[in-house]
Amino acid sequence: MRVDRGVDLTWLLTHGAGMAWQYAMSVQTSMTDIDAAFDDGNYPACVESCAVALRAIAYCAQVGDGYVVPPSDMEHQLHLATDDSATARALRNLPVPAGASRDDAERARAVVREHEAALSAALPVTVPVIRTSSGFFPTVRIAASLEKLRAEHGLGAIDWNQWDI
């Protein structure tokens, strides 16, 4: 993951907010799925959830680097197949989900946790878990606060779905 960019208010309002939002919408839910599948003994589903998480982590890095539109499925898969980032390489090195063993799932989970921790450290804000089994966590006002800050700096509203993959 590239973290050498300058992080300033403009970057936060234009790319960092989207990176954090995509993390909350895609990575956090995948992390929950990984643990649930593992705890249930469904090791193939756990490994597949690890792949989903790594795909989302790779995309979060792209958003942080300025990617502002959702890629087509082909574009996303091509990026993951050819990118030299540690996350894309880790994705390509995961075991095949079909027939995955407990050891396969444990190794895949460890890899994902490493990449999730690196992404989390690169996020411009601490993102609390905002999705729950009953919907969005009602007390989180991150989006509203960022919208207000953007307006104060002359920037328009964010289309929060623009990054959705």
Binned at pLDDT 50, 70 and 90, residue 139 comes out as: very low
Tell me: pLDDT of 158 over 70: no
Q: Model confidence over 48-74: pLDDT tens digits?
A: 999 999 999 999 999 888 887 778 889
Predicted TM-score of the model (pTM):
0.78
Computed over every residue of the chain, the mean pLDDT equals 83
Q: What is the pLDDT of residues 27-39, one digit of tens each?
A: 988 998 999 999 9
Mean pLDDT, residues 126-134? 61
**Cα gap 42→95, rounded to integer Å:** 14
pLDDT of residue 37: 95
Q: Which domains does the chain have, with CATH numbers?
A: 9-153 (1.20.120)
In angstroms, the CA 50 to CA 34 distance is 6
Q: Which of 134, 55, 42 is nearest to 91 (CA)?
A: 55
Name the 3-class secondary structure at 84: coil
Which has the higher per-residue pLDDT, 12 or 159?
Answer: 12
